[in-house]
Amino acid sequence: MKKKRWYDYLWIYTPVYLVLGMFNILFAWLGMIEFLIPLGIALFGGGKLFCNQYCGRGQLFDLLGNRLKLSRKKTPPRFLSSPWFRYGFLAFFMTMFILMIITTVHVFSGAQDLKQAVTILWTFKLPWQFAYHGTLLSPGVAQFAFGMYSIMLTSSILGFVTMVLFRPRTWCVYCPMGTMTQGICSLKEGK
């Protein structure tokens, strides 16, 4: 048994994040941590240290799949690890992220009204007005939070389903952040 370090408890981040977003959607801004830190580490020479040690999501799926035995632990289909699928999913994810930013900009500029909904799997809109209590800033700030929370909830659902169907950390195979940071590291290594 390996000795536990402080970062082995970061799995708590995802459930806390998802619960906080049910009380006040503005907490969804905290999701930026999971975007900026891995990119920063990869860009400044730390490789995939975030995935390897600090990713709370990976740890959570490991915990649910192994400790709570929720995973079937079956080998995932080969296509999941193919560069075509991984970079294709990254492109799709980034496109949806950019569309979310465009909506946010429209709300900031007043061209569009704030939509108090969380969209899961980029399709299903869930009414989420119970977690919005207004903001002193522009409604655009809240629109970004709804978009960010939608991304985080969607990735948690996808990760959970593939954790159950295949191996605990199957999400890591096609995680857009993992693909992006590995891409950055590969470019830096000249491979």
Residues that bind other proteins (CB under 8 A): 2, 42, 46-49, 51-53, 58, 62, 73, 75-76, 78, 80-83, 86, 166-173, 178-179, 181-182, 184-186, 188-189, 191
Q: Smallest distance from the beta carbon of 2 to other proteins, in angstroms?
A: 8
Q: Smallest distance from the beta carbon of 153 to other proteins, in angstroms?
A: 21
The partner residues of 119 in beta bridges, in order of sequence, read 125
Residue nearer to other proteins on the CB measure, 147 or 178: 178
Q: Smallest distance from the beta carbon of 62 to other proteins, in angstroms?
A: 7
Residue count of the chain, please give it: 191
Q: Are 146 and 107 in contact (CB under 8 A)?
A: no
- Local structure of 77: helix, strand or coil: coil
Residue nearer to other proteins on the CB measure, 134 or 189: 189
Q: Smallest distance from the beta carbon of 93 to other proteins, in angstroms?
A: 15
Residue nearer to other proteins on the CB measure, 42 or 145: 42
Question: For residue 61, which amino acid is it?
Answer: F
Distance (Å, whole) CA 131 – CA 146: 10
Distance (Å, whole) CA 68 – CA 174: 23
Residue nearer to other proteins on the CB measure, 153 or 180: 180
Picking from 62, 31, 11, 17, the residue whose alpha carbon sits closest to that of residue 151 is: 31
Run of H or E including 120: strand 117-120
Picking from 46, 53, 40, 69, the residue whose alpha carbon sits closest to that of residue 172 is: 53
Q: Smallest distance from the beta carbon of 75 to other proteins, in angstroms?
A: 4
Residue nearer to other proteins on the CB measure, 48 or 115: 48
Question: For residue 177, which amino acid is it?
Answer: M
